[in-house]
Amino acid sequence: MTTSHGPRKRLPQNPSEENLRKQAKQLAKDEGLQLAAAQRRLAIEYGYRNWAELMRAVSSPFVPLVPLRGLVAFPHEVYPIYVGRQKSVNAIDAVAAGSRILLLAQRDATVAEPSPTDMYEVGTLGVIVERQQLSDGTAKIVVEGRRRARVTRFAFDQTFYKAEVEEVADTERLNIQALDVGLSVSDQAKRERALIYSVHSALLSYFRRSRTAFAWTEIEDPAVFPYVIAHHLKIDVAEQQALLECVSQVERIEKILGHLEAAKAN
């Protein structure tokens, strides 16, 4: 999307992300700017509101990918991740500020160099909100999960892991908010409200026994409920993945309730 004043520069016919990043670094050096400020100025000069918009306009359909071992990343959650494999380090180095990165779980955490067949096909698109290069050549990143995505094509034969993806949307929406109680609602909404109430009760019981807690009472969107709860429960990777892939919000809440009740029984 262009600014109201129009672009001051024109992109070449086949714009390169790498070349634009070099332009931003040079601008930052020449003008004594922070890199983020230089990126924003350059984006505006090309007619875009910010750097992320410019990167989306010139980026390939592939998204850099970080394979996860023993972890499924969910939307609406924040994950600190230590990255050691060179292709994963290259992937995070290829992500511009505000651009997307795909977090995708491995089927077998013991596989050191995964191939496409070693990966699940549904993961979470997120943005890196913090990164730190460590002295041993590895990196630590903090990623905020945004939305689910399904891989339509892998590209693991490059300098970094990447994949072409499409967003995974829910097939239905809940008719209530997570904390709606005592309202006049339809039969479907009554069922949904009863599910939310059951999850609340099961959570109270679970966290009393485990002596841990998080601010689950502040979660207003029931669609987010299962993701946030699953992040705090001891659920194996295959079950976490099934929860991530579920496209029915009601079924997702039923699944997380089942996990809470199973934890209570143990």
What CATH number should be reported for the domain holding residue 256?
1.20.58.1480
pLDDT for 263: 76
109 and 125 share one domain? yes
Reported pTM? 0.70
pLDDT for 154: 94
- 8 A C-beta contact, residue 241 and residue 105: yes
- 8 A C-beta contact, residue 128 and residue 92: yes
pLDDT for 230: 85
- State which residues form the domain around 77: 62-167
How far, CA to CA in Å, does 93 sit from each of 67, 128, 160?
15, 11, 9
Residue 48 lies in a domain: yes
Domain-terminating residue out of 42, 58, 74: 58
134 and 67 share one domain? yes
141 and 153 share one domain? yes
SS (H, E, C) the chain: CCCCCCCCCCCCCCCCHHHHHHHHHHHHHHHCCCHHHHHHHHHHHCCCCCHHHHHHHHCCCEEEEEEECCCCCCCCCEEEEEECCHHHHHHHHCCCCCCCEEEEEECCCCCCCCCHHHECCEEEEEEEEEEEECCCCCEEEEEEEEEEEEEEEEECCCCCCEEEEEECCCCCCCCCCCCCCCCCCCHHHHHHHHHHHHHHHHHHHHHHHHCCCCCHHHCCCCCCHHHHHHHHCCCCHHHHHHHHHCCCHHHHHHHHHHHHHHHHHC
Rounded distance, CA 130 to CA 39, Å? 17
23 and 50 share one domain? yes
What CATH number should be reported for the domain holding residue 105?
2.30.130.40
User: How many domains are there within the chain?
Assistant: 3
43 and 69 share one domain? no
pLDDT for 6: 52
Burial class from Cβ neighbours inside 10 Å (0-12, 13-18, 19+) for residue 72 reads: buried
- 8 A C-beta contact, residue 126 and residue 142: no
In order along its 266 residues, the chain shows pLDDT tens digits of: 444 455 578 876 656 677 788 889 999 999 999 999 999 999 999 888 898 888 777 766 788 999 999 999 999 889 999 999 999 999 988 887 677 899 999 999 999 999 999 999 999 999 999 988 888 888 999 999 999 999 999 998 778 999 999 888 887 666 555 444 454 556 677 777 788 888 888 888 877 776 666 655 566 677 778 888 887 788 899 999 999 999 888 888 889 888 888 877 66
89 and 139 share one domain? yes
91 and 73 share one domain? yes
45 and 83 share one domain? no
162 and 191 share one domain? no
pLDDT for 175: 57
pLDDT for 217: 56
pLDDT for 2: 43
How far, CA to CA in Å, does 159 sit from each of 64, 105, 167, 203, 232?
10, 20, 25, 44, 34
70 and 151 share one domain? yes
Structure tokens at 79: 């994950």
Residue 250 lies in a domain: yes
Residue 85 lies in a domain: yes
Residue 175 lies in a domain: no
Residue 177 lies in a domain: no
Residue 8 lies in a domain: no
Domain-terminating residue out of 167, 200, 225: 167
Rounded distance, CA 55 to CA 65, Å? 16
192 and 129 share one domain? no
149 and 69 share one domain? yes
